Amino acid sequence: MEAKIMENVNAWLNGNFDQDTKNEIKRLEAENPNELADAFYRNLEFGTGGLRGIMGVGTNRMNKYTVGMSTQGYANYLKQTYPGGEIRVAIAHDPRNNSRTFAEITANVMAANGIKVFLFDSLRPTPELSFTIRKLGCQGGVVCTASHNPKEYNGYKAYWNDGGQLVPPHDKNVIREVDKIASVDDVKWSGGEANITIIGKDIDDAYIKMVKGLSVYPEVIAKQHDLKIVYTPIHGSGIMLVPQVLQTFGFTNVTIVEEQAKPDGNFPTVVYPNPEEAETMSIGLKKAQSIDADILLGTDPDADRVGIGIKDNQGNWVLMNGNQTAVLAFNYLLEARHTKGVAKPNDMVIKTIVTTDMIDRIAAHFNVACYNVLTGFKWIAELIKEKEGTEHYVIGGEESYGLMIGDQLRDKDAVSAVALLCEMAAYEKEKGRSLFDKLLELYTQFGYYQEHLISITKKGMNGQQEIADMMEGYRKNPPASLHDIPVVQLLDYQLKKGRNLQTGEEWDIKLPTSNVLQFILADGSKISARPSGTEPKIKFYFSVHTQLRDANSFPEAQAAAKSKIDGIIQGLSL
């Protein structure tokens, strides 16, 4: 085993770590040295979004020591940034195994550093944490969650005073302070318990009231209150708020998927607790079919992502992808606000660079500014802050099943999204049509856009390097054509440069630096390559579009678009 790995292992065996931890290290040393090497070959990176990793002993794992050391670094930065005054942080967690423990450790370390802590009494959706930071005037916050990752994972997301996740310069500054914590002996583990306040129902009530205020057509819900809704929290924290929010909106016919209603960090009915996965939504889909529901909705463990199922024009149930859900949601809010006369001349919407460009066309139709930002809701939050006082934010979203409606919080929010998507279904039902009918109408009006996502994981110690090599190859030698369509532009968000591959012309990209590449084809197709910042994973996003003559032409257009995407994928040798 490498000397550096053994040095890390011995530091834990001889340091101030509990005996159970040391026993587990010795067990791995005897029974699974490869796993031991993976657990200690590096420090679990505190990235720009925080921590995320497999739970277990070791420097490269999520455990009480890596959480405590990260919290000490974050606390140090808060104290540097706000010297002299009271510092407040809010802390929440999802239902994952160890999430409550990690949240309490975070609270204890913050409190021991003299910081006033507001800790939720039990699991809560991530968006409520964002709302709470703003509501209680906090300078920061933490939610312990690994979002939609498998059960072996946990994570730690750090927030700033606007309720958004860390952005420059705070992200890099916190990372710098976390990196300075060289030992568990540098951590203040206890002694400030009097600084911790337990919070719960009062914040829930304020949050639910805020979400109710987002409703555009409560009178339509009153008429369609018995809309048949099926909801699954997928063993997550959505169960804490979604049913109450739907009741507050006025919906009276909500069926909870009982098999997935109980919070459980083992996620016993699914492989991946992710509403993007058809298998994960399959139990809810069966329930929706059996009662002939109008809409199916599922939220991930920390209730910041939402997936929906609807019936197509043949009566068959289909799951919408994140782009389709975003198209329906953006259009509903812009159309409903316009029709009702509450739209403002300075309304704006925000999406990410890998989300369907169909939204740009819809926004232009309603004469609403549409801004494109880097992937991640922290960038949506940052732009809202920048535009505050001059433009009015309506909705933001990304293709990975995330929506953020209204500006009272600054992270993606599946709880409010569920309520507004149900209101949207009621709005269309009142007009005598389904959400699928509406989607086809939008495709006919604005063009048919089809997107596809491929996610590639490179496991082990060499995984990150393999992905880095892949990106460098595309950066230096972009493909000349894909599926016999010329590649005309390369957009490099790391170098912040765009380049016309045919003329050599270059221009600046006015967004923060990010390791993302986009290939723009001659027919307008777009391919994006984006490595994960927290895992050895790279995602490829594909988007093609064409005109749709009428609703009856949809199957033909869909097949043609799929064929084109398949050809592009083949051209990239993925």
Cα(134)–Cα(138) distance, integer angstroms = 6
Cα(412)–Cα(213) distance, integer angstroms = 17
Query: Token pair 């732009």 is at which residue?
Result: 383
Cα(539)–Cα(322) distance, integer angstroms = 15
**Active-site annotation holder among 147, 400, 434, 528:** 147
Query: Please, which residues bridge with residue 89 across strands?
Result: 117, 140
Residue 224 makes CB contacts below 8 A (sequence gap 6+) with 426, 429, 430
Residue 295 makes CB contacts below 8 A (sequence gap 6+) with 227, 228, 229, 230, 288, 308, 309, 310, 421, 422, 425, 435
DSSP summary character for residue 515: S
Active site residue 147: yes
Distances in Å between the Cα of 166 and the Cα atoms of 23, 33, 73, 363, 369 are 36, 36, 14, 28, 25
Phi-psi bin for 29: left (phi > 0), alpha (psi -120 to 50), beta? alpha
DSSP summary character for residue 353: T
Query: Could you count the other beta carbons within 10 Å of the beta carbon of residue 529?
Result: 23
Cα(95)–Cα(99) distance, integer angstroms = 6
CA neighbor of 517 nearest in space, from 496, 502, 543? 496
Give me the active site residues, please: 147
